[in-house]
Amino acid sequence: MADDPDRMAKHQARHRDLHVRAILWTAAAIFGMLLLSGLAAYFLWTVWRPGDHYDGPNAAFDFEIEDPRLESAPQQDYRAYLAEKEGRLHAWQWIDPRAGTVRIPIEEAMRRMVQKSAAAVDGTGTAGVMPAGPGAP
């Protein structure tokens, strides 16, 4: 049985199907690439690492934030602010005289928008709506 040539040929064919040398070379190449990648990463980390001059997102926080400015009576400033905003709503003002841009009072702007939309509805400048009187429903 040990000298059976058929059996010996099958045994040798099985061992020839498995290329041990190619597997070892592939494993060595993978190990070598991992080693080279690790060395390249170490080189880049130690040599090209940004120094203290870098002010990126991971920079140290060495600044101070000022305390908030508190007012003893903020109501006066708030009233002045509201008065200024209310004045802008009801005043005429040139924004850009060369371009012809002006600020108009809010009531005038609403009146003009109603006229413009009414003119677009029936083409005459009126929307066909009768003014509400004392007997209107």
**Taking 80 as the threshold, does the pLDDT of residue 137 lie above it?**
no
Amino acid 123: pLDDT: 64
Average pLDDT score over the chain: 79
| CB neighbour list of residue 115: distance below 8 Å, 6 or more residues apart | 125
Highest mean pLDDT among 11-20, 35-44, 69-78, 115-124: 35-44
Q: What is the mean pLDDT of residues 42-64?
A: 70
Instruction: Pick the more confident residue, 11 or 33.
Output: 33
A 10 A CB-CB count for 115 gives 13
**Taking 80 as the threshold, does the pLDDT of residue 62 lie above it?**
no
Helix (H) or strand (E) holding 124: none
Amino acid 59: pLDDT: 67
Instruction: Pick the more confident residue, 24 or 54.
Output: 24
Amino acid 36: pLDDT: 97
**Taking 90 as the threshold, does the pLDDT of residue 1 lie above it?**
no
- Collapse the DSSP code of 94 into the 3-class scheme (helix H, G, I; strand E, B; otherwise coil) and give the result: strand
- Collapse the DSSP code of 102 into the 3-class scheme (helix H, G, I; strand E, B; otherwise coil) and give the result: strand
Amino acid 15: pLDDT: 59
The DSSP annotation for 40-93 comes to HHHHHHHHS---TT--STT------PPPP---S-HHHHHHHHHHHHHHHHT--E
Amino acid 71: pLDDT: 79
**pLDDT tens-place string over residues 92-117:** 989 899 999 999 999 999 999 998 88
Q: Is 96:102 a contact under the CB 8 Å cutoff?
A: no
Helix (H) or strand (E) holding 33: helix 20-47
